[in-house]
Every structure is written in structure tokens, then in C-alpha cells.
Structure 1
Amino acid sequence: MTVASPFAEQLAHLPVAERSLPLAGGVTRFWEYGTGADDPDDRRDAPTLVIVVHGYRGDHHGLEPVIAQLDRPGYRIVAPDLPGFGVSTPMAATHDLDGYEAWLQEFAAAVRAESPSARVVIIGHSFGSILVSAALAGGLAVDDAVLINPIAAPALTGPRGVMTRVAIGYYRLGAAVPERLGHVILSSPVMVRVISVTMAKTKDRALRRWIHDQHDRYFSAFANRTVVLDAFRASVSHDISEYASRITAPTLLIAADQDDITPLAAQHRLAELIPDARLVVLEGVGHLIHYERPVEAGEAIVAFLDRSVDRRGDTDGADDGRSDDGRGA
């Protein structure tokens, strides 16, 4: 039985349309929310274009709770399924970081061409934060960037580096056995539930039940074993610190004090490495900010984007906003 989303009512207020684009040798499916979704003619005049990039093994559904918080006039929000995940087909290229970065550059150019005068904002969660950072360092031009649960340091150095090593062993096993058995292992409902239970920090039983249902429904929606293994290697072989100094856009980092993948100290270091960064730390949550604390994340994003506009209009300069007090925006 499907568990109803706590954010369904908010999402219902947003117009939405499903679309597709031929990109990187495959077909990218994406969802368009807000301005332009119910009237394509509005796309051209949309004041703000928000591109939302989900994390490893998820799809666009994962960031819908955050998208629901961005219901603002003039916001055109596009959320693709990464190639090889959800209902997007695989790329012709290898599904490593280089392949995904090239795809993101192509996707961003395509949707930006439909809203040529829009301010462009890009949001990435988890593996999506690495992908977004690599693209920004590689020349992707945006006005503002937001990284949620940013992978600020190598995954093996996180508070649960042992769990990452266990995961590496799990994926190696999935790669070592025959294709069909490997797919069964990699999409095992038992392993999906173990991962979900490990990551969820909330004590709210109803919210935990919904989180587990989301993972059950979408966490194994990958095209084939090769895609999921290549993307996993990319997710544990790179982190944002590799690209930080080349990220020139104003950047909001939304981190969690109980994130099992990246220690909080690394998030503070990352905020210092990115030339124009602001760090917001949400307390009592781990790597699932997008599920457990999307309201606070949305508030932080809106405040950051409003502040960014104000700063551009302030010829006298403003404070650099390197970090907040650790309790949100």
C-alpha cells in the first residue's frame, strides 16, 4: 500500500507537466513545476529557472518535498531523472562523473534556451551536489547554486566510513555475479530497507513509514547493473572539495549535524573553500534533509535567493554571509 506524502497538498498547488529531451545519446525525462508547466508560452518569460538534480539511486520524486516549498510567482522548476535512473534511459557514454557532467551541461543549456532571460538557480542533493559542483567548475554558468547534504569530503572519511566500506563490498558482490543475479542483489528490498533505516533520523513513525515507502518505490528504479555500479563508483570517488575553488556562483550549503556520510567539520571547511558560500546547518537530521526537513530547507533556499537579489542591487556591498549560527537561515 502506498503511503501518502505529507507534502502532497502543497505539491497539488503547483502546476506540473512531464516532458522529455533527447540528450547524451538517450532520452531524459523531466518534470516541470510552476511557471510554464500549464502554459508553455510562459516559459520564455519566466523570471527564475530552477534546475533540481537528485542524488544517487533516487529519481525526481526525492526532491519534490523541497520543490513544494518553492511555490513562488515566476519560478519555473525543472527536475530530471538522471540518465539510467527513474524513467530516463541510459546515456551513450559511461555513467561516470564525466559522463553525467556533460549530460548536465547539455540539459541545462536546453532548458535555459526556453527561458533565455531567466535568473538560473541550480540545486543538487548528495551525489547531485557532486555532479552540480563538477559542472559549475567546468563552466556551467548560473546565478546561484544550492547544495543539500553536500558531499564535502571523501565518503570513506565520514562518521560511518565503515558503512561505506560495507556498501562498497555490497556493490562489488553485485558486480561479480552473473547479470541477472547481480540485478536482484542490487535491488534487494532487504538491503534497500537497511539503507533507509540507517539514514532516517526522525522519531516520527508516520514520517519514517513514508520515507521507507519512498525508498521501496524509487530506490531500485535503475536501468541496469552497469549504470548503478558506474554511478556508485563515481559517488564514492569524488567530493565537492575537488571543485570548490572553481565554483564562482554564490552558493548555499544546507548541511545536517547528523549526516553519516560527511562530518560537520568538513562542511565548515567546504564553506571556506568556495569563494562565495553560506552554510546553513539543520540540527537533528542526517542525510535525508529532503525528506525529513524540506520545509526548513525551502525556507533557507528562498531566503538565500531573496538575499542574493538584494546583494546584486546593493552597490555599497553587504556582509559576505559565510555562515549562520548553525540553526538555519
Structure 2
Amino acid sequence: MPTLVLLHGGGPGVDAATNWAGVRSRFAADFPCLAPDLLGFGSRIAGTAGLRGPHAWAIARARQVLDLLDHHGLDRVHLVGNSAAGGAAALALLAVAPHRVERAVVMGGAGTGPPPTAVPFYDKPTRASMRATLGRLVADESGHEELLAELTELRLKHALRPAAEGAFRAMFADTAGGPPPVDLAKITTPVLALHGERDRVQPVAVSERLAEALPDGHLHVVAGAGHWIHVDRPDEFTKLVGEFLSA
């Protein structure tokens, strides 16, 4: 059974452990799992100077994952990539090293939608704005009050670490002359695009276009879920991912 590499999302203060806490143990029953902190987050904030713009970051993270696979002696893996960090890194990896990936699942548009009009949290770095930023990621905040309160404290601490803001702003910076976007038409790996029906970060149309552009793309819209499908619908999420990766 190929190892499953879980690539977390790109919200302020995120890390792999908190992103996948609710579902990693479910996957571990069927797949060996790796869940690294991606460049610019968690334990990997340092050493990212010079990276600017979403495409440069996606490629750098793809190379980070390739180094991780080499370190563990893994020839081929499955990927699950969350949103504009993990999802974009997954697509970049499929473009630069398709022979290393068996199948991939991406979530919330995988960074292929329009960039944010404002920088989440960092334009007003307070506890209240962190809570509001996290609240937008679920469909119904009232069902996750305890989790959102816990994550607000954890991610506020991480987001205010030295260099975290600079790295985050560089990820979404406008840049000219950088690497071009991934050519989706050249990705032949089977990819499942998951999108929450009630996503308040990116509209479902973003994943519709993504699935249509991929030669072997598949779309599943999860009813009642927001941007955090794995939080809003963990049972359905793990079932959909498991079935696709095992097909």
C-alpha cells in the first residue's frame, strides 16, 4: 500500500499536526502516513527568504516533498493536498515528478482560484481576527465552537512567531517574472477535486474548472461542508479519499 502524504492548508498559523488532527488516525488504519510542515509554516518558517508569489512557493514545496520521499526511500505515494498551500504543492509535484505519485486528492480549489483580496489575519493581527478567519473555514461555526476556540489560541501563537508574517505575505505577493502556473492539461495522474458545497473561501466553480482542466480529473462536491471538508464532514471525507486512492 503506498504511503499517504498529507499536505496541510495555508491559513495563518497552521501546521500539519493541527490541520490533520481529526482525520489522520482514520487514514492510518489503511495507509502509512506522512504529514510534514510545509515551507513557511510550523517548523519550516526559516530558510524561505527569496521565495515570492504563489507559484514559486508551490514549486519549492513540491521539491520539499520530493526530498522527504527520498529521505524515506519512497518511490511512489498518494497525496492529499489541502487548499492553496498543500493543494497547490500537490499539483506542482504532479507536474514536476508525476512518476512519484500514484493518485492525488486536492481540496478547496488547490490554489487555482483568485488570490485573497486581503491578507487574512495579518492586516489586523488580533485574537478576534484569528477567530473570524478560522470561522470562515467551516460551514456552521456553532457546531465547532470548542475546536475553533482551541485552534484560535494555537494558531495565534504560531502566526505571531518571528518571520511568520513575512513568509505568509510573500506567499500571496504579486510578482512578475516568476515561474508560470502549473499546466494542468499536462497532469495525467488521476486527481480527485473535493469542494465543500458551502465553502466561503472559494466558490465551487473553482474546483469545477480545475477538474475539467485535468485530463484525469474528478470532482465531488460535499454537501453541507465548508472549506474545511475534513472538519465539517470527517466520515464522508475519509471515505471519499480512501475509495479514490484504493480504486
TM-score class, shorter: 0.7 to 0.9
Deviations 1:66-103 (A, max 9, x none): 32221235x22111112232122422443433245234
Specify the SS of the correspondent of 1:121: strand
Specify the SS of the correspondent of 1:201: coil
Identity fraction in percent: 23
List, as ranges, runs of 4+ consecutive aligned residues in structure 1 with deviation greater than 6 Å.
Answer: none
Contact 1:49 1:115 in 2 (8 A): no
Give the aligned partner of residue 36 of structure 2: 80
Paired with 1:170 and 1:48, the residues of 2 have a C-alpha distance of 37
Amino acid at match of 2:91: S
Match runs of 1:1-329 below 5 Å: 47-56=1-10, 57=12, 58-60=14-16, 61-73=18-30, 75-96=31-52, 97-116=55-74, 119-127=76-84, 128-140=86-98, 141-151=100-110, 153-155=112-114, 164-165=116-117, 167-168=118-119, 171=122, 174=123, 185-186=124-125, 188-202=126-140, 204-205=142-143, 207-218=144-155, 221-222=158-159, 223-224=162-163, 225-233=165-173, 242-307=182-247
Specify the SS of the correspondent of 2:131: helix
Contact 1:200 1:208 in 2 (8 A): no
Paired with 2:246 and 2:5, the residues of 1 have a C-alpha distance of 17
Amino acid at match of 1:135: L
Paired with 2:120 and 2:127, the residues of 1 have a C-alpha distance of 17
Deviations 1:241-274 (A, max 9, x none): 8532122211111111111232223322221111
Q: Name the CA shift for 1:215/1:95 in 2 (closer, same or farther; >3 Å).
A: farther
- Give 1:104 deviation, angstroms: 2.8
TM-score of the superposition, structure 2-length normalised? 0.81
Number of aligned positions between the proteins: 232
Q: Name the CA shift for 1:287/1:296 in 2 (closer, same or farther; >3 Å).
A: same
Contact 2:57 2:171 in 1 (8 A): no
In structure 2, runs of 5+ residues without a counterpart are 175-180
Q: Name the CA shift for 1:112/1:296 in 2 (closer, same or farther; >3 Å).
A: farther
Deviations 1:45-65 (A, max 9, x none): xx3211111111211121222
Specify the SS of the correspondent of 1:155: coil
TM-score of the superposition, structure 1-length normalised? 0.62
**Higher relative contact order, structure no. (Cα contacts within 8 Å, ≥ 6 residues apart):** 2
* Structure number with larger C-alpha Rg: 1
Amino acid at match of 1:134: A
